[in-house]
Chain A
């Protein structure tokens, strides 16, 4: 029994005077208790919108959500705002990308943690404060007794992200969604935060959805990986399979484009040509076709289906041939 089951989730943004924009288009995946699932893709691929839709954090006006999101037998999409607020923060936690703008600048970090504890765990202000200090200690914030009364601007970026993690894990949620939690941090801090996250989720047996554009993060952390492109999942595989033999030309391109330290000096990088703005509509054919090295006529005329292939799900007319892939060790 999956902890979270996302079926056919679509999000269409509609605004007066503009064409409706389909940000997420029939996305399906599931997360088992304690499992770590990656949602990978470049900016605009729909990965963040997917996570916000699961959390019920998309604006009520202008965003049309369809499909189903089942969390422990409860359909989240039909819950009332109040019912959703009862579960958010308690069963589902979320860590956001930019730790500075994601914390309220005018109240102490202590209050930002205790307010969750008071809300969901029925603690008094006093009990919550003790617990908050413990949480801060657990996420590795030095001197929590002093820090608890400080404001976000007094902390470094890494410390702020630790605070956000403490907030998200305060009520021991069953599922944690981390939306690019390390993007705004510098590289050494990134590694610290990632290992902290993986340590905490395995300790508490929390399931984790890791949203990232960084395949390095996925390689170190995730059990299953969903690669998204243009709002749809294009490849869905276990981590090992994905890195050993990426089959979708987009995944393949992402792996190829990672600069390698052992490459000879002066060797050019291998980017994916073009940009997301070149996409064609999925209704016409494959959205990736304009940028794809393997594209043939069929890619321009017929949308590919997500099909089981080679022990994974794949949405491609002309997948990369087996044996032509990058190995995991290269990362």
Chain B
């Protein structure tokens, strides 16, 4: 298991390396080049040339790349063109917020998705199953922002139960440690801060969870139905094992394999969903940074964000691979 983990970890290195080349090349391919991007379309050729010299763009391309790579490896992603702050600083401020939201959404999706998919499969063709299938279809089809506003309308406007937006009440003066508001409250013992942060977290995470939840339900359902018909389940029944053991040890364990792959892919998609959700709920995470960067052509910041998103994606899939190996011994030997 340890060898498998280390090998997979090493395999992630070339992936990230190729990725850095792509991001770097993408920046060079911009019409007019980075200097124009920085100075705007109306810049005189002289100023562009001067800027190129300042940025080291006259050097050979590979020299530039290694300079870029060296900076990235030391955590220097340049400074934002909008704020002038180092990108690294901006990101480390916003990242915990997005992490908190995404993790909460994925947690909800898995927590409810797998049992619901399993139940639907067990009651296949009956009312409960049909109801689940229809619900998940709606879950996949409804856009996150629509669901976000709908939830806000119901739980804030009509019922006044939950806060409409933000991460924490402004009146709460919480200490920042990790930047994950719910966790910080626990670490410092400010439980009222945690409670308030959790209330703020409910609506956005539910909205963001809707798609991965629906997908997980459907995959779990299909996978359980598939595994139920397998020969080894018949063998398990022929042994006279109790239905609980047959279901848990023989059906569910095998059925979770495709589900874990799905969770990995959905986590990637979750990050794009987070951008919209953050907008609707004024969450102030990476989504906000990304939106601004795209609107205002803030290339250093965009570059940093893309690298970050991609790294997270690679890491999540690494975790999925490892979980796969834990469930399925056939993967370990390969």
Residues in A lying within 8 Å of B, measured CB to CB: 55, 57, 81, 84-90, 93-94, 96, 98, 101-107, 115-116, 119-120, 151, 153-154, 164, 167-168
Contacts and interface: CB of A to CB of B under 8 A. Distances in A.
Contacts of A55: 238
Nearest to A101: B231
Nearest to A90: B240
Contacts of A98: 231
B235 A115 contact: no
Contacts of A102: 231-232, 234-235
B253 A106 contact: yes
A112 to B, nearest CB: 8
Given A104-B250, A107-B249, A85 B241 contact: yes
Contacts of B253: 104, 106-107
A88 B237 CA distance: 8
A164 B235 contact: yes
B230 A106 contact: no
A90 B327 CA distance: 29
Q: Chain A CB within 10 Å — which of B235, B238, B257 has the most?
A: B238
A107 B246 CA distance: 12
A272 to B, nearest CB: 29
Interface string B193-236: 00000000000000000000000000000000000001110111
A106 B330 CA distance: 8
B329 A119 contact: no
13 contacts: A85-B243, A86-B240, A89-B240, A89-B241, A102-B235, A106-B254, A106-B327, A107-B250, A115-B241, A115-B249, A116-B241, A119-B245, A153-B333
B126 to A, nearest CB: 11
B253 to A, nearest CB: 5
Given A106-B254, A107-B249, A153-B330, A101 B237 contact: no
Contacts of B329: 105-106, 151, 153
A96 B234 contact: yes
A124 B131 CA distance: 43
Contacts of A87: 240
A85 B242 contact: yes
Contacts of A105: 232, 254, 328-330
A167 B239 contact: yes
A109 B241 CA distance: 15
A142 to B, nearest CB: 20
Q: Which of A96, A103, A106, A154 has the most CB of B within 10 A?
A: A106
A121 to B, nearest CB: 11
Contacts of A88: 237-240
A115 B327 CA distance: 19
A89 B238 contact: yes
Contacts of A93: 238
Contacts of B237: 57, 85, 88
